[in-house]
Structure 1
Amino acid sequence: MAPRHRHRRTTAVTALAAVALVVPVTVGCGAVEKALDCAQLAVDISNDVDNLQDALTGAGVDPQEADKVLDALGKDIDTMDDRTDNADVDKAVDDLQKAVDNVQKAVDNVQKSVDSGDRPDLTPVRDAAGELTKVCTP
C-alpha cells in the first residue's frame, strides 16, 4: 500500500508545484493566493485521506484513529468550502463531504459491531479528493 500513498502524495505535491509555477504568469495576485490556497488544501485533504486509509486497513480497523482523521478531514473540507467561490471546487467539496459522511457512518457501524470485520469503502473519498485536486490545478 505504501507505494500507492506515495503516488497520491506525489500527484498532489506536483499539482501544488504546477499551480505555483503557472498561476503567477496567468492571473493577478488575489487569484494567485486563492489558487495556492486551493492547491495547498487539496494536498492537506489528500494527506488526510491517506491517514484515513491507514487507520482503516492493516491489522484492523482503528475506529478511534479513524474518528480523529475524519475530524481533521472535516475541518480541511470546511476550510476549503469557506475559501472558495469556484463552482467546480464547490461541487468537488460537496462530493467529498458526502463521501466522508458515508465513511463516518460506516466507521460508526464498525464501532457498534466490533466483530463484523467490515471495512468502510474509501473509493468514493479517494475519487472525490482526486477530483478536488484536479479542479484546484489550472
Structure 2
Amino acid sequence: MASRHRRIALAAASAALLTPFVIGCSAIDKALDCAQTASAVAQSASDLQQAVQDAAENPLEADKALDQIDKNLDEITDKTDNTDVGKAVDDISAAVDNVRQAIKDGDPTPDVGPVVDATGELTKACSP
C-alpha cells in the first residue's frame, strides 16, 4: 500500500515539475513558428526585389512575390497574438500595398525598401 502511495506521489510530483516546461515549450514553439514564417517573408521580400528588377521582362513575377508575402503574413497572424509581431505585419502589409499600387500605376521600379525594412522588424519581433 505504501509503495502505491509513493508511486502516485512520484507521478504527481513529476507532473508538477514538467508542467512549466511543457508550457514553456509551447511558447518557444510558437516563437519558432513565427521566426520560420518571418524567414519565409524575408525570402519573399528578396524575391520581390529581384522581381521588381526584372519587371520589364516578366511583370507577373512581382505580383506573385507580393501574393506570397501576403500568404506568409496570414500564417504569422494565425500563429501569434504578439503586439510587436502584429505591428510588424501591419507595416509589411502597408508596404506591400504601396508596391502593388505603384505597379498598377505603371511605376517600372517601385520602391521595395519599406517592405524589406519592415521584414527586418518582423524578424526581430519573432525572435524567441
Residues 102/37 of structure 1: CA separation in 2 closer, same or farther (3 Å cut)? same
Residues 52/59 of structure 1: CA separation in 2 closer, same or farther (3 Å cut)? closer
C-alpha contact (below 8 Å) 1:96/1:129 kept by paired residues: yes
RMSD between aligned alpha carbons?
1.9
CA distance, structure 2, for counterparts of residue 137 and residue 61 of structure 1: 37
Match of 2:85 among 82, 89, 101: 89
Trace 1:56-135 onto structure 2 (pairs within 5 A). 56-58=52-54, 60=56, 62-110=58-106, 118-135=108-125
Q: TM-score, normalised on structure 2?
A: 0.77
Structure 2 unmatched runs, 5+:
1-20
Equivalent residue, structure 2, for 1:136: 126
CA distance, structure 1, for counterparts of residue 88 and residue 55 of structure 2: 32
Q: Which amino acid aligns with 1:34?
A: K
Residues 59/97 of structure 1: CA separation in 2 closer, same or farther (3 Å cut)? closer
Residues 78/59 of structure 1: CA separation in 2 closer, same or farther (3 Å cut)? closer
Q: TM-score, normalised on structure 1?
A: 0.71
The CA deviation at 1:63 is 2.1
* Count of paired positions: 107
- Determine if the alignment matches structure 1 residue 55 to structure 2 residue 45: no
Equivalent residue, structure 2, for 1:29: 25
Q: Which amino acid aligns with 1:31?
A: A
The CA deviation at 1:32 is 1.3
**Moved runs in structure 1, 4+ residues, more than 6 A?**
none
Question: C-alpha offsets along residues 35-59 of structure 1, whole Å, 9 cap, x if unaligned?
Answer: 1111101100000001001101157
CA distance, structure 1, for counterparts of residue 90 and residue 40 of structure 2: 17
Structure showing greater Rg: 2
